[in-house]
Structure 1
Amino acid sequence: MFSNSSNVSLLPPSSDSSSSYHCYDCRNSFIIFTSYSIATILILLPPCILPFWMNVAVYLAVATTNGHVPFHILTCVERHLAVVHPITYLRLKNRGGIRIRNVSIAFVWLLLYMWIGLTAKSVILVPYFCVTTFSMVVVAFCSLSVLRALIRPGPGEGGGDKGRVDQSKKRAFRTIMAIMLALCFRFGGQLLFLLIYVSMNLGKCYRCTMLTSVVWLCLPSSLVLPLLFLHRAGKLTCCKKTDSGSDQTRVMTVNSSNASLLPPLNLYGTMLLCNTSQRGVISLTAYFLSLTLLLLPVCIRVIYISVQKWRQQPNAIIRHSDALTYNMVATELMNILGSCLSCCAAYTGFTIMMQLGIYLFLLNFSAQQYFHVLTCVERYLAVVHPIIFLKLRGNRAVRIRNVTIVCVWLLCFGSMAFLSLPEDQSIAVSFFWASLFLFVVLFCSVSVVWVLIRPKPRVGKRVDRTKVRALYYMMVILGVLVFRFGSTTISLALYHFQNQVVDEKCLALFCMIWMGLPGSLVLPLLYLHKAGKLTCCRKTDSGSDQSRG
C-alpha cells in the first residue's frame, strides 16, 4: 500500500500531463522566466560570439580606413580634369566615359577586397607606406593644380562681370582648400605614424595605440564627399544662405548709404555682432558647456594638487614647467568665466557683461599662445641644450622666469588695445604673431623629436624606453599645438579675405575659438601625468615595462 502510494506521488497528475507548462500562465513565473532569458542572452551570448564580432569589427575597420583612399584619389583626379583639362573632361561624359568609370569602380572594389584579405590579420608596412605616399602625392598634385587654375585669371575676366566671376572662383578656392587640408591631414598623419612605427622599437601597447590612432585621422576626410554632395544638392542651409546672400550683401553695401548694412570697423564690433546672432548664441552655449565639462574639472584638479604640494613643501622652488602650467590654468579659468558671462549676456542682452566676456576671452587667447611658446622653448632647452637648462635652475633663473611671466601678462593686457584699432590692422598683427608662434613651436618640437630619435653614442641599437615614451608624448603635443596655431593662422587669413561679409567672418571666428579647445588641455593634462594622477597612463606605462621585463 505504501509503495503504491509513493509511486503514484512520483507520477504527474493524470488530469493533465503537461502541468509544468501551466506555470508560465502565472504572471510571476512568466516575469521570472523572461528575466532569466534576457539575462542569458546578455551574459552568455556575448562571450560565445565575441571572437566572431571582433573579427567582423577588424575587417570593417580595415575596409573603411583603406576604402576611402582610392575614392578620394578618383575624386581628386576627376576634379583635376574638370578644372585643369575641361575639354578632356567633357569628352569623358559620354557612354565611353561612363564605362571607364564603372570599370574603375569595380577594379577599386576588387583591390579593396584583396587588400582586406592581406592586412586584416597583419600589418604590411612597406606596401601600406607606398600606397599612402602615392595617395599623398596624387592628392597634393591634383589639388595644387586646381588651386593654381583658380588663382589665375581667366581669358574672359577682363570685362564688367569680373566681380561675379571672382566670387564664384573664390568660393571654389575655399572649398578646395578645405578638402586639401582634410586629405593632407589624413595622409600626412598616416605617413608620420608609419615613420615612427618603423623607426622606433616600440612596445606592444604603443604600437596598438598608434594603429588605432590612424582610425581617428580618417574621421575628417570621411565627411568630405558626403558634405560636398549635400552642398551641391542645396541641403546645407548655412552654406546655401551664405552663398546666395553674399552677392546681395556686396551690392547693398555699395549702392546703399545705410550704415547698418556695413560690417563693424573694428574687431570688437565684429565679435559683438557675431556673439549676439542666432548662430553665435548656439556656439557660445556649446562652447561654455564644453569648457565646463572638459576643462574645469582638470583645472580644479591641478589647483588641488598644487596646493597640496605647497602645504607639504612650502619653501620648495617651483619648476619652470609647473609655473607655466599654473599661469595657463589661471587663463583658462578666465576663459571659463568669460564664456559664462558672454553666454548669459547673449540670453539677457546685457552689453556690459558681453563686453567683459569678450575681453576675458581675448586675454586668454593671447596668454595661451605665449605660455605654449614658453613651454616649447623650455622643453627645447631641456632636451637639446641640457647644460644651459641645468644652469637655469637656480634663484637667478627663477627671477628671469618670473620677469618673463610678468612681461607676458603685460603684453596680454596691452593686446586689448587691438580691439579699438581698425579691423585690417588688428587682423594683420594677429596673423603675424600667430605665424611667428607656429614657426617657434615647429622648430622647438621638431628639434626635440630629432634628438629623441637619434641614438645615444654609447647605447648602440638598444632602445631607451624613457625616450620612446617621451617621443610618444612629444608627437601628441606637437600635433595638438600645430593644429591649434595652424588653424588660428588659417582662420585669420580667411577672416581677412571676407570683405564686407559678416556671416563668413563670424564663421572664421567661431572656427578659431573651437580649434583652440584641444590646446587648452595640453599643459594641465601633462601636469597631472607628471604628478601620477592620470591612472590610465600610469598603468599603461608600468604595465608595458613589466611586459617587456
Structure 2
Amino acid sequence: MVSSGSRMSPNSSFSSQSSLDLHLSPINTSISLYVVCLISKPSSYIYRAFNITTIFLVLPICILILQHGLQEWRKKGSTFMEVLSHSDCFTYNIIIMDLFAVLACVFTYCGIVMNNLNMLSLSMIFYSFSCFGQIFFHMLTCVEHYMAAVHPITYRSLRKERGVRIRNISIGCVWLLCFALTGFIMIDDIILAIVNICLVTLSLTVSSFCSLSVLCVLIHPGPREESRNRDRVDQSKKRAFYTIVTILGILALKSLWDLNWSVVYITGGLNGCILMSWGSWFNIPSNLLLPLLFLYRKGKFVCFKKNME
C-alpha cells in the first residue's frame, strides 16, 4: 500500500543525485521515501514497467465492465440498483477504484519521465485512495460470500429492500473512510504507517475467516439431493471451492506483502527501494481478480466457459 512514509528533505535525499531535475513548487518542503524510490535508479525502471503493465491490463477490463453496466442500466432503468446483486455492486465499486489506480499510474509514469515531483505526489494520493478502497471492498465481498454460504436464510432476506439499504450504507461508509484515510498522507508518517498495518491485518483476518468458513461449508456434505441433481451440485460446489481458494490465495499473498512492504518502508530507507518496486507487482493480480470473475459470470469468456463445463 502506498503511504507517504518517511519524509526526507530534498537536500539530504538527493545529495548523491544532483543530476535529477525536479520541478518543485514552493509548498514542497519534503519528499516521501516512496517518491524518492520512484525517481531513483534502478527502481524507477521497475516502476515504469509496472505502470505501463497496469494501464494496459486494468484499463480495458474496466472499460468492458462499465460498458456492460451501462447496457444493463439502460435495459432495467431505475430498478437497476435494486436488482443488482451485492457482489456485482461491490465489483463495480472496485472498478472505480481501479480507475483511480490507472490514473495514478499515468501520473506516476509522466512524473518519472518529466522528473516532476508535484505529479508524483499527486499520483501517490490517487494510488493510496485506490488501495484503501480495494481493501474495504474485497472485505465486503468476502463477507457477502460468507453470508451466502454459512447463513443462506439470512442472506436471502438481505437480498430485498433492507439488504440493499444496508449495502448502500456500507458502500457510502467505505468511500468516506477512503477519503479520511487518504487525508492521513498529509499529516504524519508514523501514524499513517500504523493505520496501514492495522488495516491490512484486519483485511487478512476478515478475508481468511470468511473464506475458510465458506470452504468448510463446501467441503462438508450437504443435505441429500436427488441422484439426478447430485452431479450438478458437486460440480457447482467444486467451481465455488476453486473460486474461493483463488480469492483467498491472492488476497492473502497481497496482504502479507503489504505488511512486509510497510515494514521495509519504515525501516529500509533507500536500500529498500528495489524490494518495494518489485513488490508493487503483487497488486496486479488482486486488481484483476474480482473483475475477471465478474466477466466470467456474465459469460464474457465464452470459450473458456464451455471448456470448464
Structure 2 distance, partners of 1:368, 1:390, is 26
Structure 1 residue 325: Cα displacement: 0.7
Alignment of 1:503-518 (within 5 A): 503-504=271-272, 506-518=273-285
Q: 1:402 aligns with which of 151, 168, 174?
A: 168
Shift, 1:468, TM fit = 1.1
TM-score (norm 2): 0.84
Consecutive unaligned residues of structure 1, counting only runs of 5 or more, are 1-257, 543-549
Partner of 2:287: 520
> Quick one: which amino acid aligns to residue 510 of structure 1?
S
With over 3 angstroms needed to count, the CA separation of the structure-2 counterparts of 1:348 and 1:403, relative to structure 1, is same
Q: 2:86 aligns with which of 300, 320, 326?
A: 320
Q: CA deviation at 1:261?
A: 5.5
Matched residue type, 2:138: H
Q: In structure 2, do the counterparts of structure 1 residues 509 and 311 end up closer, same or farther at CA, with 3 Å as the change threshold?
A: same
Shift of 1:437: 0.8
Aligned positions of 1:429-468 closer than 5 A: 429-459=195-225, 464-468=234-238
CA contact (8 A) 2:139 2:207 kept: yes
Q: Which of 242, 267, 291 in structure 2 is aligned with 1:472?
A: 242
Q: How far apart are residue 490 of structure 1 and its match?
A: 2.1
Answer yes or no: is the 8 Å Cα contact 1:281–1:343 preserved in 2: no
**How far is 1:286 from its partner?**
0.7
Number of residue pairs the alignment of both structures matches: 281
Query: What residue is the counterpart of 2:12 in the other structure?
Result: 260
Aligned partners of 1:341 and 1:459: how far apart in 2?
A: 55
One of 7, 23, 37 as aligned partner of 1:274: 37
Is 1:291–2:43 an aligned residue pair? no
Looking at structure 2, the residues matched to 438 and 329 of structure 1 have their Cα atoms a distance apart, in angstroms, of 21
Partners of 1:537 and 1:472 in 2: CA distance: 15
Distance 2:123 2:225 in 1: 54
Identity of aligned residues (%): 33
Match of 2:106?
340
For 1:474, the aligned partner's letter is: I
Letter matched to residue 265 of structure 2: Y
What is the Cα deviation at residue 410 of structure 1? 1.0
Higher normalized contact order (CA 8 Å, seq sep 6+, divided by chain length) = 2
* Structure of larger gyration radius: 1
Q: What per-residue deviation string (whole Å, max 9, x for no partner) do you get for residues 461-499 of structure 1?
A: 95521111111211111111111112111222333342x
Residue correspondence of structure 1 range 229-248 to structure 2 within 5 A: none
Q: Structure 1 CA distance, aligned partners of 2:276 and 2:183? A: 18
**For residues 197 and 141 of structure 2, what CA distance do their matches in structure 1 show?**
21
Deviation at 1:459, TM superposition (A): 4.0
Equivalent position amino acid for 2:220 in 1: R
Per the alignment, in what secondary structure is the counterpart of residue 440 of structure 1?
helix
1:289-438 to 2 correspondence within 5 Å? 289-314=52-77, 315-316=79-80, 317=82, 318-438=84-204
Q: Which moved more, 1:393-402 or 1:519-528?
A: 393-402
Give the Cα separation in 2 of the matches to 1:292 and 1:261. Answer: 29
Equivalent position of 2:4 in the other structure: none
Shift, 1:299, TM fit: 1.1
Segments ≥4 residues shifted beyond 3 Å: 459-463
Q: Distance in 1 between matches of 2:238 and 2:30?
A: 45
- Structure 1 residue 311: Cα displacement: 1.4
Q: Secondary structure at the match of 2:222?
A: coil
SS in structure 1 at match of 2:42: helix
> What is the match of residue 142 of structure 1?
none
* Deviation string, structure 1 residues 429-457 (Cα, Å, up to 9, x no partner): 21111111101111000111110111113
Across the aligned residues of Structure 1 and Structure 2, the Cα RMSD in angstroms comes to: 2.5
CA distance in 2, matches of 1:483, 1:334: 22
Amino acid of the structure 1 residue aligned with 2:36: L
**Structure 2 contact 264–276 (Cα < 8 Å) conserved:** no
Structure 2 unaligned spans of 5+: 1-9, 16-28
- The one of 285, 288, 302 equivalent to 1:535 is 302
Displacement of 1:425 in angstroms is 2.7
Deviations 1:15-61 (A, max 9, x none): xxxxxxxxxxxxxxxxxxxxxxxxxxxxxxxxxxxxxxxxxxxxxxx
Tell me which moved more, 309-318 or 336-345: 309-318
Check 1:268–1:530 CA distance in 2 against 1; reply closer, same or farther (3 A cut): farther
Q: How big is the shift at 1:412?
A: 0.8
In structure 2, C-alpha distance between the alignment counterparts of 1:460 and 1:270, rounded to whole Å: 62
For residues 367 and 261 of structure 1, what CA distance do their matches in structure 2 show?
31
Q: In terms of mean alpha carbon deviation, does 506-515 or 326-335 score higher?
A: 506-515
What letter matches 1:492 in structure 2?
Answer: S
- Please tell me whether the aligned partners of residues 51 and 106 of structure 2 are also in contact (alpha carbons under 8 angstroms): yes
In the alignment, is the contact (CA less than 8 A) between 1:495 and 1:508 conserved in 2?
no
Q: Distance in 2 between matches of 1:361 and 1:512?
A: 15
Hey, what's the Cα distance between the residues in 2 that align with 1:361 and 1:267? 19
Distance across 2 between alignment mates of 1:411 and 1:275: 27
Partners of 2:136 and 2:282 lie apart in 1 by: 17
Deviation, structure 1 residue 534: 1.2
User: Structure 1 residue 394: deviation in Å?
Assistant: 1.6
Aligned residues of 1:288 and 1:339 also touching (Cα < 8 A): yes
- Name the CA distance, whole Å, in 1 between partners of 2:96 and 2:130: 9
Distance 1:535 1:396 in 2: 35
Instruction: State the alpha-carbon separation in 2 of the partners of residues 390 and 341 from structure 1.
Output: 43
Contact in 2 for aligned 1:267/1:422 (Cα 8 Å): no
Which amino acid in 2 is paired with 1:482?
Answer: A
- Give the aligned partner of residue 496 of structure 1: 266
C-alpha change, 1:452 and 1:537, in structure 2 (3 Å) is: farther
Q: TM-score, normalised by structure 1?
A: 0.48
The 3 A distance-change label for structure 1 pair 268 and 486 is farther
* One-letter amino acid of the structure 1 residue matched with residue 251 of structure 2: L
Letter of the 1:299 counterpart: C
